Structure 1
């Protein structure tokens, strides 16, 4: 439909009046600011609530994306984030016409906390909104602008902490939703947060953060990774402190203190950080992120909300940069596994045998990062007495499979959003046939139903039992199938690895498989 065929819609919200547009049974509002621009003196400070604006704000175009380094042009993920600016804290809303007290679905994009944008067409909220949801997508600070910790920043903070600014942006967006979404027909007491990859990492951060408690009521984590995370001011698990990394980056950028870094052009900061090898993470600071995620979830201190969590069978096929160089042959592979895993080596070799070294390495990293995390999430929610719904996405199609990308990382997203025709330019083209349409309808239905009721249901599809019922999971291949006991023993193996490493102050991340450090002995408390 052309812009000329649209009709305007004006909503008077507590934040101020906004003018969006009605189209195809939806009301759409784009680029609404949820906090003050984090520029100048506000760079590397928590987001600040805006006063009510005067007049009617236009809301027909996406806001600027955070300044970022995009994916390589040849990447399947490469997409145009549009205009970029430090002034990037905005959100978008899709509303079914006539909505009243509708459940709210808040999407947090992925991109390794380095890049991403709510304007990517793959995240268009129209189909989910047509299922009766008010859909919100948000922009937040990424890269060093979003996650830099530094001793001087901690010193100027009333709480004595720094970093986590991108996470605090997400909290600010949820607070904006809580205050304003009723004016758009949404129910602030029925909010689901959802994200994929770094967006799913953000979902876990929000579940763990006291700052976000009560702002959401259900959660969806697609391909999350619960890895060891830097502490604010102390070395831990073989990693330097977040503040030490910030001081190092200051030197790499030839800056003299925080004032100089704040005066530096934001793109220069971002590009210089990438060239220096800076990697953004959340920071364990005792307040915003009180403890390591594994500890918070072990002790049942996370948000007690129903959860969907899962992973894709081909996660690492499109993320081969996470793999070490391959072993030269089967004997070298087995020797490396025995050196790294000790008394667990036979179990590891049983799961990841050397017959096909490439497939073994892909599966090892997939399970250690994504499979273990997804099952851990649903198991820990089950232990809290709330339902966790587990899934494996194993769907392939010709273009993806011929490129060696069967069920690759993020390939489930267009099926959830109903945007299989609106993917990035290099994305393997999804066929236009009933198999693809049917799978997409089912996944959109499941996700929308979960946001409405806390129970995922899809018309004409199997009932999705919670994980606690005999370790149930939904298997998404050609069509959804309910199954039990996914990869029996996988979760227990990687849980044991994490637990021993945690006890020995060793990181648990992608140092797995043939590059695993020697396995610490059995530790107290490790099953």
Structure 2
């Protein structure tokens, strides 16, 4: 007999700004999938800021996920699998709510009063801004709904060339092009949450945004974006790379390289607006293969445009201009080791040549100081992860003006140890989303570690849920301050350390990276 959590039945109808949408009831939650939060960004709206959602007649079927943004098919753990529908028309989100939530307005006369609105948790996926899908089984978020009494929202946003390359210089008054489109999508989704989430039993005044990798970069960038102010009230950044936000001069040079790869130098606007998705993906591949001269960068990233994003997020935090909402932020023990595995293309300085070139292009005077703490130790391979994820996150945790809790995720398994990656990039997702009993986790714990993973899963979810409800973790976890630098280490047995990896932190002090 199947568990009641796995019985799927038609769900309730809810009225949104676009119209009525009928969801389904599955895995012990109500869920509505593929709900538009903006107009399809196609045709005249390609490379334009998100436009208001187009209303529909009748009742929309919310039982199926919407298509995912245009991307390479790398598998459905975080992105698109072989059969995942994919299209430019991808600006949809998914909502899950408790079975007990009162939906869609006031309770009928004579009925019991509606429950208190639930906290809302809005998830932004990772994937280096080139892959990612809110429909990935990894990101269903049912545990937050069932055990956390929260409303969970996952968002599709544009990625790759259509979401993050800055083609604005090729626009005209008649056919403008905006930049930071993926960031604009995220803001539009948060505005949709503000305007609609009460109908799903959620509290628009108690919104937590959270994400991993590119999703965490999104979180720290949104905290530095004035247009996003007031749309969220708490934030969790898992393995952010907050320095992966670049100035417009560099971004436009990457855009020019893309146009050349597309074969559209003679008429860039026509090429960009008429190219097929296949052609766009091909040009992106060529551009990525040519980026060896700027190691430790990703061209698909938010752009400091002086308008929507007026300054680099790290500058905003260190100048006290970022949103001062409660923040949980942390990284994993060995972030960069994932990218040493075959077929992973993100350059986080895993080679000596790329490391040398990065210092030469940024701050050569700090090269010897930084390398000294890695020389002759097994930590040399972790320099890239520290450069991209760990040290920039330390800069944020040191500067944040609101309450902040720092963590490091250290839990590994014998299989991960044999692979040489340990607690690398993305491993905390198993704990956050309750994946300890999935097939992937069974493989990772085939030689042991399942109970430890279940234990850290229980503790992490408890803290994340309590944070969404109350603005602070549930467990013993002191706030971070620059004097004590207390950091929670998530492992088989959690512990709190003062200033972990102090020598590395001091070695990186003063490093600013690329402009």
TM over 0.5: yes
Q: CA RMSD in A?
A: 3.0
Partner of 1:35: 38
Correspondence for 1:374 among 388, 393, 399: 393
Match of 1:497, SS?
Answer: coil
Does the 8 A contact of 1:217 with 1:306 survive in 2? yes
Residue 466 (str. 1) matches residue 479 (str. 2): yes
Q: Deviations over 1:494-523 (max 9, x none)?
A: 23122xx6xxxxx27xxxxxxxxxxxxxxx
Q: Deviations over 1:464-522 (max 9, x none)?
A: 11112721111011132222211114334323122xx6xxxxx27xxxxxxxxxxxxxx
Q: Deviations over 1:447-467 (max 9, x none)?
A: 111111110114xxxx11111
Partner of 1:289: 309
Write the distance in 2 (CA, Å) between the matches of 1:338 and 1:46.
37
Partner of 1:261: 272
Write the distance in 2 (CA, Å) between the matches of 1:292 and 1:19.
41
Write the distance in 1 (CA, Å) between the matches of 2:442 and 2:85.
21
Q: Which has the bigger relative contact order, CA under 8 A and spacing at least 6?
A: 1
Write the distance in 2 (CA, Å) between the matches of 1:425 and 1:485.
31
Q: Deviations over 1:310-331 (max 9, x none)?
A: 001111111124234348xxxx
Match of 1:395, SS?
Answer: coil
1:153 is displaced (CA, Å) by 4.5
1:106 is displaced (CA, Å) by 0.5
Distance 1:349-1:494 versus aligned 2 partners, 3 A rule: closer
Write the distance in 2 (CA, Å) between the matches of 1:340 and 1:86.
36
Q: Deviations over 1:109-138 (max 9, x none)?
A: 000000111111111210111211111001
Partner of 1:107: 123
Partner of 1:445: 462
Q: Deviations over 1:230-266 (max 9, x none)?
A: 322x3xxxxx3x2333233222212223133211212
Match of 2:380, SS?
Answer: helix
Write the distance in 2 (CA, Å) between the matches of 1:38 and 1:337.
39
Residue 45 (str. 1) matches residue 51 (str. 2): no
1:349 is displaced (CA, Å) by 4.8
Match of 2:509, SS?
Answer: helix
Q: Deviations over 1:173-199 (max 9, x none)?
A: 101111000000000001111111111
Structure 1 unaligned spans of 5+: 235-239, 328-332, 502-506, 509-527
Residue 435 (str. 1) matches residue 449 (str. 2): no
Normalised TM-score (structure 2): 0.85
Write the distance in 2 (CA, Å) between the matches of 1:415 and 1:439.
6
Partner of 1:96: 98
Structure 1, 398-407 or 421-430: larger mean CA deviation:
421-430
Residue 315 (str. 1) matches residue 304 (str. 2): no
Partner of 2:492: 478
1:16 is displaced (CA, Å) by 1.8
Partner of 2:294: none
Q: Deviations over 1:287-312 (max 9, x none)?
A: 11101222211211111111011001
Write the distance in 2 (CA, Å) between the matches of 1:318 and 1:169.
29
Distance 1:42-1:291 versus aligned 2 partners, 3 A rule: same
Distance 1:396-1:432 versus aligned 2 partners, 3 A rule: closer
- The aligned length equals 475
Does the 8 A contact of 2:339 with 2:350 survive in 1? no
Does the 8 A contact of 2:79 with 2:133 survive in 1? no
Residue 351 (str. 1) matches residue 351 (str. 2): no
Match of 2:484, SS?
Answer: coil
Structure 2 unaligned spans of 5+: 102-115, 292-298, 341-346
Partner of 1:276: 287
Write the distance in 2 (CA, Å) between the matches of 1:304 and 1:67.
34
Write the distance in 1 (CA, Å) between the matches of 2:413 and 2:306.
45
Does the 8 A contact of 1:228 with 1:292 survive in 2? no
Match of 1:83, SS?
Answer: coil
1:155 is displaced (CA, Å) by 4.3
Does the 8 A contact of 2:413 with 2:449 survive in 1? no
Q: Deviations over 1:116-168 (max 9, x none)?
A: 1111111121011121111100111110011122254454499x873210111
Match of 2:500, SS?
Answer: coil
1:76 is displaced (CA, Å) by 8.7
Match of 1:473, SS?
Answer: strand
1:57 is displaced (CA, Å) by 0.9
Partner of 2:106: none
Write the distance in 1 (CA, Å) between the matches of 2:17 and 2:361.
61
Partner of 1:67: 70
Does the 8 A contact of 1:378 with 1:387 survive in 2? no
Partner of 1:362: 381
Does the 8 A contact of 1:337 with 1:348 survive in 2? no
Residue 165 (str. 1) matches residue 181 (str. 2): yes
Distance 1:271-1:23 versus aligned 2 partners, 3 A rule: same
